[in-house]
Amino acid sequence: MGQGLSCRIQDEHGLFTAVQVGDLQTVKTVLDKDPSLSQQTTVYDRHSAIHIAAANGQIEILSMLLENRSVNPDCLNRQKQTPLMLAAMHGKIACVEKLIEVGANILMFDSLNRRTCLHYAAYYGHSECLQTILSAARTSHVSVSWGFSRFVNIRDGKGATPLHLAARQRRPECVHILLDNGGLVCASTGGYGLLGSSPLHLAARGGSIECIRELLAWGADRLHRDSAGRIPYTVALKHKYGACAALLNPSSAEPLVWPSPLKFISELNQDAKALLEQALMEVNREREKNILKGSGFSVSSPSHSDATGVDDDISEASDSQLCCICFDQLCAIEVQNCGHQMCAQCTLALCCHNKPNPTTLALPQPICPFCRSNIARLTVVKVKVNSVDQDLDVYSSPKQRKSRKSQNLSEGSSSFRGLSGVPSFGRMVGRSSGRVSVDHECDKP
Residue ranges of the chain that CATH labels 1.25.40.20: 1-140, 153-252
CA dihedral 291, 411, 341, 306 (to 10 degrees): -60
- pTM, whole model, 2 decimals? 0.72
pLDDT mean by block of 10 residues, the chain; 445 residues: 47 84 94 90 92 97 93 95 98 97 95 96 98 93 86 95 97 95 91 88 95 92 93 95 92 77 61 78 78 61 37 40 80 81 78 54 68 78 52 42 42 34 35 46 41
pLDDT at residue 398, rounded to an integer? 41
Cα(97)–Cα(235) distance, integer angstroms: 38
pLDDT at residue 145, rounded to an integer? 84
Which element (helix H / strand E) includes 435? strand 435-436
Under CATH, which number does the domain 257-291+315-355+365-416 receive? 3.30.40.10
Cα(311)–Cα(400) distance, integer angstroms: 7
pLDDT at residue 333, rounded to an integer? 80
CA 268 to chain CA mean position, Å: 15
The closest of 401, 414, 232 to 328, measured between CA atoms, is: 414
Cα(175)–Cα(210) distance, integer angstroms: 9
| Exposure b/e, 200-230, CB count within 10 A at least 16 = b | bbbbbbbbbbbbbbbbbbbbbbbebbbeeeb
pLDDT at residue 90, rounded to an integer? 97
Domain with residues 153-252, CATH architecture: Alpha Horseshoe (1.25)
Residue ranges of the chain that CATH labels 3.30.40.10: 257-291+315-355+365-416
pLDDT at residue 12, rounded to an integer? 56
Q: Are 70 and 108 contacting, i.e. CB atoms less than 8 angstroms apart? A: no
- For 306, residues 6+ apart whose C-beta sits below 8 A from its C-beta are 402
pLDDT at residue 171, rounded to an integer? 97
Cα(88)–Cα(103) distance, integer angstroms: 15
Residue 385 DSSP symbol: E
CA 167 to chain CA mean position, Å: 12
- For 145, residues 6+ apart whose C-beta sits below 8 A from its C-beta are none
Phi, psi of 16 (to 5 degrees): -65, -40
CATH of the domain spanning 1-140, picked from 3.90.226.10, 3.40.50.2000, 1.25.40.20, 1.10.3720.10: 1.25.40.20
Task: Determine the angle formed by the axes of helices 270-292 and 209-217, rounding to 10 degrees.
Answer: 120
